[in-house]
Amino acid sequence: MNKDDWDAWIRCALFSYNSSVHSGHGFTPHELVFGRKARIPSEFADKTIAKTFNEYLDETLNRLNTTQAQAR
């Protein structure tokens, strides 16, 4: 890596920042925006979806409201 190829690494840096816990409130930026922890690529292997979209959406909105309220 040199100073001319920083743009090749920006995605990794952003993922690292957005998935790191903030010491002030104990949440990651990703959790406060999306209501759940960021998933890494290896978590997608061999998963089946057992919920309906509405169940997933309700669960996500509840988690999002809870984490944002706790952060405040």
Phi, psi of 5 (to 5 degrees): -115, 30
Average pLDDT, the chain: 85
pLDDT beyond 60 at 72: yes
Do the Cβ atoms of 46 and 19 come closer than 8 Å? no
pLDDT of residue 56: 85
Count how many residues are written for the chain: 72
Instruction: Answer whether residue 1 shows pLDDT above 60.
Output: no
pLDDT greater than 80 at residue 68:
yes
How many other C-beta atoms lie within 10 A of the C-beta of residue 3?
5
pLDDT digits (tens, 9 = 90+) for 36-63: 888 887 776 666 667 888 888 899 899 9
pTM: 0.57
